[in-house]
Amino acid sequence: MRTQVCIIGGGPSGLLLGQLLHSIGVDAVVLERQTQEYVLSRIRAGVLEVGFQNLMRQAGVGARMDREGHVHNGTLITYNDERVRIDFSTLTGTSVMVYGQTEVTRDLYAARAEIGAKTFHSVENVEIHDVEGDAPYVTFDQDGVTHRVECDFVAGCDGFHGVSRQRIPKDKRKEFEREYPFGWLGVLSRTPPADEELIYANSSRGFALCSMRNAELSRYYIQCPMTDRIEDWSDDAFWDELRRRIPSETAEQMVTGPSIEKSIAPLRSFVCEPMQWGRLFLCGDAAHIVPPTGAKGLNTAASDIHYLFEAMRAHYLDHDASAMDQYGPRALARVWKTQRFSWWMTTLLHHFPEQSDFDHHIQAAEIAHLRDNVEAQRVLAKNYVGLPY
């Protein structure tokens, strides 16, 4: 078969790119190794920067997000019982929205089905060919049959473990990585949120996050050693530990209940350079990963999609021969800024095994600096709601 853009990966970034391309009359085929049901069952982040929100609207899939999403005008940073509110609206004139990644993906799948666009699920043995030339193509197996997709460009939106990044010759790509010596134990529960805004907590016992998906569905996290197992943590043990790490006033009024999902996720910072190789373009986790502390993973993938879509629009509509070569440098410039912010938030709020009493006092002083310095709050707020594209 023939298409203009072959998108590898049927998560939110790949689906969003496909929908944006459709809006300008560019055909795209999406390949996904999992079933649609599996993709929609994954529990992921749900804080959307203003740029991501605008991309959803631009793609024509923002109506349910605008109707059901929860606008957040600020967040809380706490150190033991001390609370510092970062007022996004006052400091930046904008806000973020809590709308689960699963819901984003559901909206994009529905839109793709409505336009009758081709999406292949449960694909295997995906291989990317001839991206160094003018006629790339992708082969894959589905139900025992081998298919070939000829295209102008390949968009690698297939995540950290996908095939796209590996297609760049090993001696031509440089990878920067930091693994953190702890993970996040996360619990999803059908309970009202602990607070109307997210709480990022640094306590003497380590980090905790109080988040939500909607008014009756809450998501909580605590820092834990990567040697821990889910079986080590009963629901009661989790709630008890969470209460110890958040301000006492919040802990006393928090509603708890049975977990409906529990997992332990590692934390990593990762960047691959370059983000393009010939006619192959990496997006999202295929090119970079951030620790989730700053809510930048999904949002940085969205900024990649913005830059790639703008390049493709210039290529197809304006016949700009140089547009596609601008994608990698533009995307990477923003990627490293979000890496810095995510690393800073992680360093500020977590306990590291090698930390001394001096280091803990520096963390406390940094949070006091946020409390007392409006400009420091403004820098945090601008990064959190999303740097401009």
Mean pLDDT for 148-152 is 98
Q: Where are the beta strands (DSSP E) in the chain?
A: 5-8, 28-31, 47-48, 70-72, 74-79, 82-87, 96-98, 119-120, 124-129, 137-142, 145-150, 153-156, 174-189, 199-203, 206-214, 217-224, 259-273, 276-277, 280-282, 288-289
Domain limits of the chain?
5-71+95-177+268-346, 180-267+351-385
Mean pLDDT for 246-265 is 95
- Report the pLDDT value the prediction gives residue 215, as an integer from 0 to 100: 84
- Marked catalytic residue, from 200, 221, 307, 316: 200
Catalytic status, residue 200? yes
Catalytic status, residue 221? no
* Residue bearing the bigger pLDDT, 46 or 267: 267
- Marked catalytic residue, from 12, 72, 79, 109: 72
Is residue 43 very low, low, confident or very high in pLDDT (cuts 50, 70, 90)? low
Catalytic status, residue 38? no
Mean pLDDT for 262-267 is 95
Given this chain, do its domains 5-71+95-177+268-346 and 180-267+351-385 carry the same CATH topology?
A: no
Catalytic status, residue 292? yes
Is residue 116 very low, low, confident or very high in pLDDT (cuts 50, 70, 90)? very high
Q: Are 86 and 61 in contact (CB under 8 A)?
A: no
Helix (H/G/I), strand (E/B), else coil: 62: coil
- Report the pLDDT value the prediction gives residue 213, as an integer from 0 to 100: 83
pLDDT at 94 over 80: yes
Catalytic status, residue 193? no
- Marked catalytic residue, from 247, 274, 292, 315: 292
CA-based nearest residue to 118, from 5, 284, 286: 5
pLDDT at 45 over 80: no
Query: How many Å apart are CA 291 and CA 346, to the nearest integer?
Result: 7
Under CATH, what is the fold of the domain 5-71+95-177+268-346? FAD/NAD(P)-binding domain (3.50.50)
- Report the pLDDT value the prediction gives residue 42, as an integer from 0 to 100: 76
Q: Write out pLDDT tens, residues 303-326.
A: 999 999 999 999 999 999 899 999
User: Taking CA 176 as the corner, what is the angle to CA 47 and CA 211, rounded to the nearest 5 degrees?
Assistant: 20
Helix 297-317 to helix 12-23 angle (10° resolution) is: 30
What distance separates the 2 farthest-apart alpha carbons in the chain? 64
- Marked catalytic residue, from 79, 180, 274, 296: 296
Q: Write out pLDDT tens, residues 274-286.
A: 999 999 999 999 9
**Exposed / middle / buried, residue 20 (Cβ in 10 Å: 0-12, 13-18, 19+):** buried
Mean pLDDT of the chain: 96
How many angstroms separate the Cα of 145 from the Cα of each of 6, 123, 142? 18, 10, 5
Mean pLDDT for 159-178 is 97
- Marked catalytic residue, from 109, 180, 220, 384: 384
Under CATH, what is the fold of the domain 180-267+351-385? D-Amino Acid Oxidase; Chain A, domain 2 (3.30.9)
Mean pLDDT for 315-340 is 97
Least confidently predicted of 43-47, 95-99, 294-298, 362-366: 43-47
Mean pLDDT for 47-64 is 97
Helix 374-385 to helix 357-372 angle (10° resolution) is: 90
CA-based nearest residue to 123, from 145, 152, 155: 145
